[in-house]
Structures are given as structure tokens and as C-alpha cells.
């Protein structure tokens, strides 16, 4: 390094820091931004070394704790005017910072394409930095001239402001989940599920994981630890594969292709206003952390077999002990119990089902001890049921329930997989059945309007009380006088065939039935419900039928109106929040791009071909 040039760069780095001159006296804000809109915390202007530095928080969509510095170099070294410069190594307090963004002319630019204008080089750099308040740090930048490869260094002092700073230094690492509401609908208690992966040596136990949201409160930052649930933890650590030594064919350097990796899923509930963004921080790498003590209103009580009683502030739901399906629902505001209990096992949730005579009509509610897996925690309880219908052979079905803390909504997924060709009179899904003791009317969305069906004047079984499009957004059963309602919100539907094209469908529709009970169901292939019910209709092998619905038992919304209430619930669940993960570049990660393995080595049959062992030498 040329000492004279080094001195020049050091001087003008400090010049740049002093010349910014728009820093506030601390707190939130800095530069030209007001305290209410900027995520920056600026150092006091009286501290000359850091007058152009901005210290930022991960709030409202910003993924990083960061420091942002502006540099103006009025005169680049002689002979290098008009050159292109790269930002090479960046370090703060001697620790390399691999995550940074470079700006020029007010916009983000390629870190390898900095241009000087008439010998003057000006740029800003934003560096991921877990800063702490009232501390003194130092940033060192390496600038590289493109043609000659000459390197020059810049050193900048970073006195941090007062404030909160990094949430808790006991947690050494974090990643960010940036949520964006992009559809114009408010979300309250919106369930978020994210699956992430970190290098295994950074995570000792899932008990150390914390989810935190930082938000502005006036000129301050407020941290709120969010109740969260970690599940599906898996670690990849294959010693045989990790022992493979592979060298780059050109450089001879070792190719690092794998690291032991631990992945996990984390769930939490999010509140977002229309059009808003939020940053949720997932902290980890604190081996001494105790297991979090998250308290919510969700509880699960085990009964006989698959029997469970799930409660939160909105409902009490009982699962049938043999089949595991929903058997009873108590809406807690009205204390009204919703049930069926008229046929077979009396469950509320009846299908997927198939009727292929001469076999009996089999429903998922007729299951006896299906294969079941469950996940329980403070944020959600899920039950996954799967198995085969007894007859006809070759029909696999699955059900999954998600019950959440602080929410009246139950998420219901179902899938039917047809492995062999068959003929049926009925193949249905998404059915809920209630006895006629509570409800007197139905409502549904059709042609953008809410329609009301009075059961006192509707057609009765075996005729359909109403026939609706398969893409109907929601159907509700209710009684305004009793102040109670139940709704199915139809969120997603997929009907592919694994052998190509669509699953077998015969004019699918949603329908409502009125008899000793009221029920709502979706028919995919359903001649039995038609005026020619003796027809046997084909269902091709490979057909798959998937439904994702939300169920909600609710007190009748007298002020808001039934249609508006259910539209709001539907929109908040139908249109997902956008989610983006931002995770640090670990120090162990290779430099640059690792060329993937695109072909398997030939072991025989080709002259002079190299096998796997030879290729990796």
C-alpha cells in the first residue's frame, strides 16, 4: 500500500463524514428524513468522526440492523481518473461484513461498478451491523481499481447513538422475515408459517429461537417478543458426503459444496394494516437460552383414542375419538353447541368420500384409527390424518386441521388421491353437516352479492336447496335471532391428474341440502345428486382433489352485516401476505458462485471416462 495514497483516502473519508452535516442529535431520524418515516438513528453532529453515519433498525420492512456511511473523495489518485472501482473487503471492528449495499447517485449500484465523475468519487455504503448504543466502532473499506487491481483503503469512525440498538447480544445471530400486505386488506392474527435453514453449528436447540418485532414509538424503538412455535426441526449432516474432497479443475483449490445444516419451521401470528410492511426477527445462537414460556389462549386436552378437546377464547371443539374429525363446536360468545349426531358416527365433518356401488358409501368420518400425526404448541395445534378408504381399493385420502391461538378460524385441508381407474356415483369433498336444531337460513356470495336462503321456503332433500358455482367464495348457515353463524370459506382448490391434464370432473359444484339436517358439500363427480342418479361415471387413475378451506363459528355480526363480515374474513385469508427471508452471509460460506453438479460421472461404457472417485481427486 502506498502510504501517501492511503493518507489521502483516510483524509477524504473523514472529510466526507464531516461534510454530510444533516445529522440529528440522536433518536430516530437522520439525513433529510423525518423521525416518523426514517429507520435511521443518527449520531450527534458534535461527534465529528461520525457525522455522516446513520444507524438503522429492522423495522417496517427494513431487514437489517445497519450502519450507512457516505463518502466523497474529491480527487482519486493521479492516473486513475475515470476508472471503475469495486468495493472489496468491508470490516467493522476487524470482523468482516459480507452483507452490504452500495449506492451512487441515490440508487443502488453494482458494488463492482463505482464510477468517478471528473476524478471525484462519491458513494454511500449500507452495511449489515448489529450495533449497540453509545459505542465506538471503526469501519474499513477496501477499494479496488478495475484495470490495474490497485487497492486503496478507507477508514471511518463509527460512534453509535443512544437508543436501543441490537435487541439482545446474548443472541448472536438473527434472520429477518419481511411481511408485506399488498392486497389492501387488514390482517389481525394472521397465521405465518416459515421454514428456514441455518448452518448447524449456529443452533444448539430450537428452545433458543425467539421471534421479535421492532416498531417505532415516537422517537424510540419498542421491541415486542412474539409468541412463536418451532417445529419440524431437521439436520443434514452426512459424514460420507462431507468427507468427499473436490478440487476446482482450474485453480486446484478445494470446492466447498456442503455444510451441516439445520432447518426448522416457525409459526407466529401477525397484525398488519392494509399496504403495510413489518419485519419479524428470528433470533438464534444462544445456547444458554431457556425454553420460552409463551402463554396463549390455546389449549388441547387429550381424550380417548384420537379424541381431543381444543379451546381458545372463541371456541371449544371436540374431535371424534375414532376418526379424529371435528365432532362438536361450541361458539363461546353465544355458548351455542353446533353438532350433527344423527347418522353413522354423527360427526360434523364428513368427507372426502366416495360412493362406488356395489360397495357402501365411505366417508373420512367413517375412518377407524387412521394414521395420525400432531403438532402442539402455544401458537397452533395441528392434526394430520391419512389413510385409505376401505372400498373400493386404491383411494388414499388425507385431512389436516390447524387450530390457532387468538383466532376463531379453523384451517381445513383435504386431499383425495385416486390410484386406479374406477366408476362412481359420488366423489365429494368439503362437507359439513349440522342437525336442524340451530340454523334457519343460509347465505352465500353469488355474482358479487350476498344472497339469503330461508330454509322455511327452500326445496328439501333429495332436491338441492341451492346449487352454486365451484368457485363460490363462502357459504354460511346462520340464525339471526339466536345470534349464531357458521361459515365455510373456500380458499384454494386444485384438481390435477398425475398422468397429465385435469382430474376427472363432471360439472363440479357446491350445494346446500335441507332435511333433518343442513349440510354443505362440494361435488366433483356426483350423478347420485342429479335427476339421473343411476349413472356410473368414470374417475381416472392419477386424479387428485385438493381443498383448502377455513371454518368459522361466529356470533352474528349485527353491526357490520353478515356479508361484509364474511367478505372481510375471506379476503384476509384468501390473499396471502408476501414474505421474504433475509439471512446473513455466514463466514463459512464460499466466496462467489459454486458451480453446480450438472451431470453424473460415467462409470463405464465410455472410453477414458472418469468415475466419481477419480473426478474428485
What number is the average pLDDT over the span 388-392? 94
Given a cut of 50, is residue 513 above it in pLDDT? yes
Given a cut of 90, is residue 2 above it in pLDDT? no
Whose CA is closest to 31, among 103, 97, 82? 103
pLDDT confidence tier of residue 333, bands split at 50, 70 and 90: very high
Please count the CA atoms within 13 angstroms of the CA of 334 that sit on its side-chain side. 21
Helix (H, G, I), strand (E, B) or coil at 9: helix
Radius of gyration of the chain (CA): 31
The backbone torsions φ and ψ at residue 247, rounded to the nearest 5 degrees and listed phi first, read -120, 145
Question: Which pLDDT belongs to residue 112?
Answer: 95
Please count the CA atoms within 13 angstroms of the CA of 571 that sit on its side-chain side. 15
Q: How far apart are CA 414 and CA 387, in angstroms?
A: 12
Question: Which pLDDT belongs to residue 580?
Answer: 98
Question: Which pLDDT belongs to residue 549?
Answer: 98
Please count the CA atoms within 13 angstroms of the CA of 417 that sit on its side-chain side. 10
Question: Which pLDDT belongs to residue 59?
Answer: 98
Question: Which pLDDT belongs to residue 524?
Answer: 98
What number is the average pLDDT over the span 4-10? 40
pLDDT confidence tier of residue 602, bands split at 50, 70 and 90: low
Question: Which pLDDT belongs to residue 369?
Answer: 86
Q: In what order do the strands lie in the sheet with 261-272?
A: 187-199, 261-272, 229-236
Mean pLDDT of the chain: 90
Spell out the residues 6+ positions from residue 219 whose beta carbon is closer than 8 angstroms to its own. Answer: 27, 28, 29, 35
Helix (H, G, I), strand (E, B) or coil at 363: strand
What number is the average pLDDT over the span 465-484? 98
The backbone torsions φ and ψ at residue 89, rounded to the nearest 5 degrees and listed phi first, read -75, 135
Given a cut of 60, is residue 236 above it in pLDDT? yes
Q: How far apart are CA 58 and CA 71, in angstroms?
A: 23
Give pLDDT tens digits for 307-329.
999 999 999 999 999 999 999 99
Q: How far apart are CA 100 and CA 66, in angstroms?
A: 9
What number is the average pLDDT over the span 18-47? 32
Whose CA is closest to 58, among 280, 273, 286, 283? 280
Q: Which of 436-440, 459-463, 613-617 is the least confident region?
A: 613-617
pLDDT confidence tier of residue 607, bands split at 50, 70 and 90: low
pLDDT confidence tier of residue 337, bands split at 50, 70 and 90: very high
Cβ atoms within 10 A of the Cβ of 389, count?
A: 21
Give pLDDT tens digits for 42-56.
333 222 233 368 999
Q: How far apart are CA 107 and CA 109, in angstroms?
A: 6
The larger pLDDT score, comparing residue 463 to residue 118, is at 463
Question: Which pLDDT belongs to residue 109?
Answer: 97
Domains plus CATH for the chain? Answer: 3-159 (2.60.40), 173-284 (2.60.40), 339-573 (2.70.98)
Given a cut of 90, is residue 21 above it in pLDDT? no
Given a cut of 90, is residue 614 above it in pLDDT? no
Does residue 10 contact residue 17 with C-beta atoms inside 8 Å?
Answer: no
Given a cut of 70, is residue 36 above it in pLDDT? no
Given a cut of 70, is residue 278 above it in pLDDT? yes
Give pLDDT tens digits for 519-578.
999 999 999 999 999 999 999 999 999 999 999 999 999 999 999 999 999 999 999 999
Q: Which of 116-130, 329-343, 400-414 is the least confident region?
A: 116-130
Given a cut of 90, is residue 610 above it in pLDDT? no
Question: Which pLDDT belongs to residue 23?
Answer: 29
pLDDT confidence tier of residue 608, bands split at 50, 70 and 90: low
Q: In what order do the strands lie in the sheet with 53-56?
A: 40-42, 53-56, 66-73, 121-128, 100-104, 107-109
The pairing of beta strand 395-404 with beta strand 409-418: antiparallel
Question: Which pLDDT belongs to residue 532?
Answer: 97
Give pLDDT tens digits for 572-595.
999 999 999 999 999 999 998 898
What number is the average pLDDT over the span 131-151? 94
Q: How far apart are CA 580 and CA 584, in angstroms?
A: 13
Percentage of the chain exceeding pLDDT 90: 80
Q: How far apart are CA 123 and CA 107, in angstroms?
A: 10
Helix (H, G, I), strand (E, B) or coil at 523: strand
Question: Which pLDDT belongs to residue 599?
Answer: 82
Q: Cell 456442503 belongs to which residue?
A: 258
Whose CA is closest to 258, among 278, 241, 282? 241
Question: Which pLDDT belongs to residue 438?
Answer: 97
What number is the average pLDDT over the span 62-85? 90
Amino acid at each position: 500500500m502506498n502510504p501517501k495514497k492511503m493518507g489521502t483516502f483516510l483524509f477524504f473519508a473523514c472529510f466526507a463524514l464531516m461534510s454530510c452535516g444533516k445529522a440529528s442529535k440522536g433518536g430516530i431520524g437522520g439525513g433529510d428524513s423525518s423521525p416518523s418515516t426514517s429507520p435511521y438513528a443518527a449520531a450527534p453532529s458534535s461527534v465529528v468522526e461520525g457525522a455522516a453515519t446513520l444507524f438503522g433498525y429492522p423495522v417496517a420492512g427494513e431487514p437489517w440492523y445497519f450502519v450507512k456511511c457516505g463518502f466523497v473523495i474529491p480527487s482519486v489518485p493521479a492516473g486513475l481518473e475515470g476508472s471503475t472501482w469495486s468495493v472489496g473487503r468491508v470490516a467493522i471492528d476487524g470482523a468482516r461484513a459480507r452483507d452490504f449495499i452500495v449506492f451512487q447517485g441515490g440508487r443502488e449500484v453494482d458494488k463492482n461498478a463505482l464510477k468517478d465523475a471528473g476524478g471525484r468519487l462519491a458513494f454511500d455504503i449500507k452495511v449489515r451491523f448489529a450495533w449497540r448504543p453509545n459505542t465506538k466502532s471503526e469501519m474499513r473499506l477496501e477499494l479496488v481499481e478495475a484495470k490495474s487491481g490497485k487497492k486503496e483503503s478507507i477508514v471511518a469512525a463509527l460512534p453509535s447513538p443512544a437508543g436501543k440498538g441490537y435487541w439482545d447480544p446474548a443472541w448472536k445471530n438473527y434472520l429477518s422475515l419481511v411481511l408485506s400486505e399488498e392486497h389492501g386488506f387488514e390482517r389481525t392474527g394472521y397465521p405465518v408459517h416459515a421454514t428456514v435453514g441455518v448452518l448447524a453449528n449456529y443452533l444448539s436447540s430450537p428452545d433458543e429461537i425467539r421471534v421479535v418485532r421492532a416498531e417505532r414509538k415516537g422517537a424510540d424503538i419498542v421491541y415486542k417478543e412474539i409468541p412463536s412455535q418451532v417445529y419440524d426441526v431437521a439436520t443434514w449432516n452426512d459424514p460420507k458426503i462431507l468427507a468427499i474432497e473436490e478440487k476446482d479443475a482450474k485453480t486446484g483449490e478445494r470446492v466447498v459444496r456442503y455444510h451441516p445444516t439445520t432447518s426448522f419451521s416457525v409459526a407466529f401470528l401477525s397484525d398488519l394494516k392494509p399496504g403495510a410492511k413489518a419485519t419479524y426477527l428470528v433470533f438464534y445462537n444462544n445456547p444458554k437460552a431457556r425454553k420460552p414460556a409463551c402463554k396463549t389462549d390455546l389449549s388441547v386436552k387429550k381424550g380417548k383414542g384420537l379424541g381431543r378437546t381444543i379451546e381458545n377464547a372463541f371456541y371449544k371443539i371436540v374431535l371424534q375419538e375414532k376418526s379424529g374429525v371435528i365432532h362438536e363446536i361450541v361458539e363461546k360468545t353465544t355458548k351455542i353447541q353446533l353438532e350433527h349426531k344423527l347418522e353413522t358416527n354423527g360427526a360434523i365433518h364428513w368427507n372426502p368420500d366416495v360412493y362406488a356401488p356395489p360397495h357402501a358409501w365411505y366417508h373420512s368420518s367413517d375412518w377407524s384409527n387412521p394414521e395420525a400425526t400432531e403438532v402442539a404448541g402455544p401458537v397452533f395445534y395441528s392434526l394430520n390424518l391419512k389413510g385409505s378408504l376401505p372400498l373400493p381399493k386404491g383411494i388414499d385420502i388425507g385431512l389436516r386441521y390447524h387450530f390457532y391461538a387468538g383466532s376463531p378460524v379453523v384451517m381445513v385441508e383435504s386431499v383425495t388421491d385416486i390410484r386406479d381407474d374406477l366408476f362412481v356415483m359420488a366423489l365429494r369433498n368439503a362437507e359439513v353437516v349440522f342437525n336442524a336444531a340451530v340454523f334457519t337460513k343460509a347465505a352465500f356470495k353469488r355474482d358479487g352479492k350476498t344472497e339469503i336462503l330461508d330454509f322455511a321456503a327452500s326445496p328439501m332433500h333429495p332436491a338441492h336447496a341451492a346449487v352454486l358455482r365451484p368457485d363460490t367464495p363462502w357459504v354460511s348457515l346462520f340464525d339471526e335471532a339466536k345470534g349464531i353463524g357458521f361459515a365455510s370459506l373456500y380458499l384454494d382448490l386444485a384438481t390435477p391428474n398425475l398422468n397429465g391434464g385435469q382430474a376427472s370432473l363432471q360439472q363440479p359444484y357446491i350445494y346446500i341440502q335441507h332435511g333433518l339436517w343442513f349440510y354443505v358439500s362440494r361435488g366433483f363427480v356426483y350423478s347420485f345428486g342429479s335427476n339421473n342418479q343411476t349413472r356410473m361415471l368414470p374417475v381416472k387413475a392419477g386424479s387428485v382433489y385438493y381443498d383448502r378451506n377455513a371454518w368459522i363459528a361466529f356470533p352474528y355480526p349485527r353491526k357490520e352485516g353478515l356479508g361484509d363480515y364474511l367478505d372481510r374474513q375471506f379476503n384476509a385469508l384468501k390473499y396471502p401476505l408476501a414474505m421474504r427471508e433475509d439471512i446473513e452471509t455466514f463466514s463459512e460460506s464460499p466466496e462467489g458462485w459454486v458451480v453446480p453438479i450438472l451431470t453424473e460421472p460415467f462409470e463405464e461404457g465410455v472410453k477414458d471416462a472418469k468415475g466419481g472417485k477419480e473426478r474428485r481427486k
